[in-house]
């Protein structure tokens, strides 16, 4: 059993603020490029094409930023958190689609007014006769497809693996749009410094993607040679997978982090899914605990010992580094208990665990949690929805009943989306400052 760390609480990292400043500084530089290259704006056509140029420049810049946010750069991942980067990426994606649509409509409309032709005729002329614009049109179409499959109502109806695979189409979309920007963009044509700056931005992002998303995982796979050692049932529909390999300590995984796992067996090799560690990292093995909620997660119960595994990571900032006080509440729901179980074992100070589930038999890893609580003298509270006599609403009053000094604690929160939203509202009502609520979502 791993003893709790004695590390002191750390001050907030300045990295998120610095990243925001850099991103917005880059956007200001993009607007300055348009301003310096536009001596005047005359008439409705001029205003429309000018707005089209601005939205096009910002969309192109935002594409590079979106790729950078998901390049899995360790500095960003550890300081900001993978789930937070994913939320920024999703929000930025909506901006990119909006800007790209506005760019297309404004440019066509402005050019149509300037040449005194119809919108359909002008669209045909642009797509078929302007250099690389057919490529740009294909890239724009791919962006729209990605936007459609990422809409929440659609996203819920398709498997994670399918959505993730379709998302790779954005790489091709960005590649096609990049050449259109340089060939047709009035702000780049004949402007060598602007072209070099654009090339530098995109080449730097491409290099980070190639290194951290492809080269590093392959190098680690060859070095650590992970394989499935054992599959153990934990609760109805829940199994733990033990993985062994070489030099596992060199991975430097921390309690609370996760990997993206690719199991090299039939029907599973093509998908890399994120699963948290459910036990503190050990020099001889790693463990994940997964609930069957889809085809990929259900198939884990049938893995054979010896199956080779590729693991990307470790990722995430849901670790002791976020702690601001010496008192902590761990609030988990369902299989969201997995990263909290590792923190319950290792977090220093006074720790209370509240674990919510639908039924008593759904409380995975309960025996381990009870043993950990007894070993470190910590409190653990189990709350179930069924039977009704043992249920408890997820409200500020109910949480304060379990943890009277709730407002003085850091809170680590992990669970299904509905439970997480209710918990965030309850914690705000209970007076827990936002900066001391740390929650992790793996719904990427």
* Tens of each residue's pLDDT in the chain, 444 residues: 555 655 556 666 788 889 999 999 999 999 999 998 888 888 999 999 999 999 999 999 999 999 999 898 988 888 888 888 888 888 999 999 999 999 999 999 999 998 889 999 999 998 888 888 899 899 999 888 888 888 877 777 777 767 777 777 888 889 988 988 888 888 888 889 999 999 999 999 999 999 998 899 889 889 999 999 999 999 888 999 999 999 999 999 999 999 999 999 988 888 888 899 999 999 999 999 998 877 778 899 999 999 999 999 899 889 998 888 899 999 999 888 999 999 999 998 999 999 998 888 888 899 999 999 999 999 999 998 887 666 788 999 999 999 999 999 999 999 888 889 999 999 999 999 998 999 876 554
In 3D space, the residue among 360, 359, 354 whose CA is nearest the CA of residue 373 turns out to be 354
**In the numeric block, which tokens belong to residue 346?**
């290792």
Cβ contact 89:70 at 8 Å: yes
Orientation of helix 43-69 relative to helix 15-36, angle to 10°: 150
- Dihedral (CA of 295, 298, 300, 301) sign: negative
**In the numeric block, which tokens belong to residue 290?**
């997964």
**In the numeric block, which tokens belong to residue 45?**
């056509």
d(Cα 76, Cα 19) in Å, to the nearest integer? Answer: 9
**In the prediction, which pLDDT does 443 show?**
52
Q: How many residues does the chain have?
A: 444
**In the prediction, which pLDDT does 391 show?**
74
Question: How, if at all, do strands 350-357 and 379-384 pair?
Answer: parallel
Residue 350 belongs to what H/E stretch? Answer: strand 350-357
Residues with Cβ within 8 Å of residue 176, at least 6 apart in sequence: 135, 136, 138, 139, 142
d(Cα 70, Cα 86) in Å, to the nearest integer? Answer: 7
**In the prediction, which pLDDT does 7 show?**
55
pTM of the shown model: 0.79
d(Cα 17, Cα 49) in Å, to the nearest integer? Answer: 34
Residues with Cβ within 8 Å of residue 383, at least 6 apart in sequence: 354, 355, 356, 357, 390, 391, 392
Cβ contact 165:28 at 8 Å: no
**In the numeric block, which tokens belong to residue 118?**
């119809």
In 3D space, the residue among 335, 292, 327 whose CA is nearest the CA of residue 441 turns out to be 335
d(Cα 4, Cα 412) in Å, to the nearest integer? Answer: 16
Provide the H-helix boundaries in 335-379.
337-346, 366-376
Question: Cα 33 vs. chain centroid, distance in angstroms?
Answer: 31
- Dihedral (CA of 160, 162, 163, 168) sign: positive
**In the prediction, which pLDDT does 129 show?**
87
Cβ contact 247:223 at 8 Å: yes
Residues with Cβ within 8 Å of residue 93, at least 6 apart in sequence: 66, 146, 147, 150
CA–CA distance from 60 to each of 54, 176, 402 (Å)? 10, 11, 51
**In the numeric block, which tokens belong to residue 146?**
């990605």
Q: Which residues of 229-244 are buried (b: 16+ CB within 10 A; e: fewer)?
A: bebeebbebbbbbbbb
CA–CA distance from 29 to each of 196, 326, 382 (Å)? 14, 43, 53
Cβ contact 139:180 at 8 Å: yes
**In the prediction, which pLDDT does 152 show?**
75
Helix/strand/coil for 262: strand
């Amino acid at each position: 059993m791993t003893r709790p760390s004695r590390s002191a609480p750390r001050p907030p990292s300045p990295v998120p603020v610095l990243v925001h400043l850099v991103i917005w500084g880059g956007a200001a530089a993009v607007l300055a490029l348009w301003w310096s290259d536009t001596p005047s704006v005359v008439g409705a056509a001029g205003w429309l094409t000018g707005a089209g140029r601005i939205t096009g420049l910002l969309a192109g810049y935002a594409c590079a930023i979106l790729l950078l946010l998901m390049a899995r750069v360790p500095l960003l991942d550890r300081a900001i958190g993978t789930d937070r980067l994913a939320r920024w990426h999703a929000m930025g994606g909506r901006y990119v689609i909006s800007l790209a649509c506005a760019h297309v409509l404004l440019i066509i409309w402005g050019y149509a007014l300037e040449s005194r032709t119809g919108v359909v005729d002008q669209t045909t002329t642009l797509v078929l006769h302007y250099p690389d614009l057919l490529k740009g049109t294909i890239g724009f179409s791919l962006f729209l497809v990605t936007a459609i499959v990422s809409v929440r109502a659609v996203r819920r109806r398709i498997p994670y693996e399918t959505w993730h695979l379709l998302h790779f189409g954005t790489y091709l979309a960005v590649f096609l749009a990049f050449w259109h920007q340089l060939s047709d963009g009035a702000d780049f044509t004949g402007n060598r410094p602007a072209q070099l700056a654009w090339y530098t931005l995109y080449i730097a992002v491409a290099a980070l993607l190639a290194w951290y998303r492809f080269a590093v995982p392959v190098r680690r796979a060859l070095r650590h040679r992970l394989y499935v050692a054992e599959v153990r049932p934990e609760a109805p529909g829940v199994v733990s997978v033990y993985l062994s390999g070489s030099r596992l300590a060199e991975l430097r995984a921390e309690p609370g982090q996760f990997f993206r796992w690719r199991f090299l067996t039939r029907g599973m090799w093509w998908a890399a899914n994120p699963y948290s560690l459910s036990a503190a990292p050990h020099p001889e093995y790693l463990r994940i605990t997964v609930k069957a909620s889809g085809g990929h997660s259900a198939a884990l119960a049938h893995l054979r010992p010896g199956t080779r595994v590729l693991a990307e990571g470790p990722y995430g900032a849901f670790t002791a580094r976020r702690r601001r006080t010496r008192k902590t509440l761990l609030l988990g729901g369902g299989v969201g208990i997995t990263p909290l179980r590792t923190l319950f074992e290792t977090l220093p100070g006074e720790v209370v665990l509240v674990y919510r589930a639908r039924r008593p038999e759904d409380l995975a890893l309960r025996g381990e949690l009870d043993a950990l609580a007894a070993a470190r003298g910590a409190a653990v509270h189990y709350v179930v929805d069924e039977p009704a006599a043992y249920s408890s609403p997820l409200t500020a009053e109910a949480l304060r009943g379990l943890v009277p000094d709730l407002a003085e604690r850091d809170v680590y929160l992990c669970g299904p989306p509905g439970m997480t939203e209710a918990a965030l509202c309850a914690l705000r009502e209970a007076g827990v400052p936002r900066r001391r609520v740390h929650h992790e979502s793996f719904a990427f």
